[in-house]
Amino acid sequence: MEQNLTLEELAARMGGDSTAPYFIAGVLREAIYRGVLPEGQPLHQAQLALRLGVSPIPLREALRLLETEGLVSFQGYRGAMVTALSVEEAQELYEMVAALETNLLRIAFPRITRRILEDAARTLDQMEAEGDCIRWRDLNQVFHNLFYEPADRPLTLDMLARLRQKTDRNIRQHLVSMREESQRQHRGILAAVEARDLPRALEALGEHLAYTSNDLQSYMRLEEGAKKRR
């Protein structure tokens, strides 16, 4: 796995127009995913602007973008802070993700081509070789979306991406405990789709999402218990 990066290193590695709010939001989003900006931490805008070498206006616009994703909240005179995800919220988010993903797979199933199956298998191979948790997360999203894009439901895919931005914020902590089993389940989903067995594919996908949700909630409960004992 990669060593923890600083905010400045993330910005340099990502590249792009540092004056654009979307670029700044991308840097801050990845910093939240990687724990560089921990949950509950105040986001001092003057300090962030200085560290990133940007002006206050695009930085504030970037924070507002992250607010729409549920990653940042504005606390009146206290300013912005990184939001925390509760166990109950994680459960509800995954319930919505499961409903959307199974519906997308059902609609897309007749249009899944051999090329898509080959791309999905290649993506799984890349995931198994990937050591960085955030890039693994990105490949995981690619794998799933390969099966959903033929549904031609852009609004649903956009909503799904927004939900996953919230659920995936803790991927760095609980990936270690779920990675091997998750990969096995991915292979099961792919095998069912290759066999053109829609009921089995839907069942495999549903079980996979339930497993991921339960693993995340178990990790979060352990973390809550550890904090209470401190």
What are the structural domains, with CATH classification, of the chain? 7-82 (1.10.10.10), 87-229 (1.20.120.530)
Mean pLDDT of 32-47: 88
Mean pLDDT of 65-70: 89
Quickly count helices (H) and strands (E) in the chain.
10, 3
d(CA 213, CA 150): 25
- Position 230 scores a pLDDT of 63
DSSP letters spanning 167-230: HGGGHHHHHHHHHHHHHHHHHHHHHHHHTT-HHHHHHHHHHHHHHHHHHHHHHHHHHHHHHHH-
The yes-or-no verdict on residue 2 having pLDDT over 60 is no
- Position 138 scores a pLDDT of 92
**pTM to 2 decimal places:** 0.84
The yes-or-no verdict on residue 52 having pLDDT over 50 is yes
Instruction: Give how far Cα 30 sits from Cα of 6, 47, 64, 171, 187, Å.
Output: 11, 18, 16, 11, 28
Which of the two residues, 75 and 22, has the higher pLDDT score? 22
d(CA 179, CA 67): 29
Give per-residue pLDDT as tens, 94-103: 999 999 999 9
SS3 6: coil
The yes-or-no verdict on residue 58 having pLDDT over 80 is yes
The yes-or-no verdict on residue 3 having pLDDT over 70 is no
Which of the two residues, 109 and 77, has the higher pLDDT score? 109
Query: pLDDT confidence of 209, banded at 50, 70, 90?
Result: very high
Give per-residue pLDDT as tens, 167-199: 887 777 778 888 999 999 999 999 999 999 999
d(CA 94, CA 146): 19
- Percent of the chain clearing pLDDT 70 (strictly above): 97
- Looking at every residue in the chain, the average pLDDT score rounds to 90
Which of the two residues, 50 and 78, has the higher pLDDT score? 50
The yes-or-no verdict on residue 1 having pLDDT over 50 is no
- Percent of the chain clearing pLDDT 90 (strictly above): 62
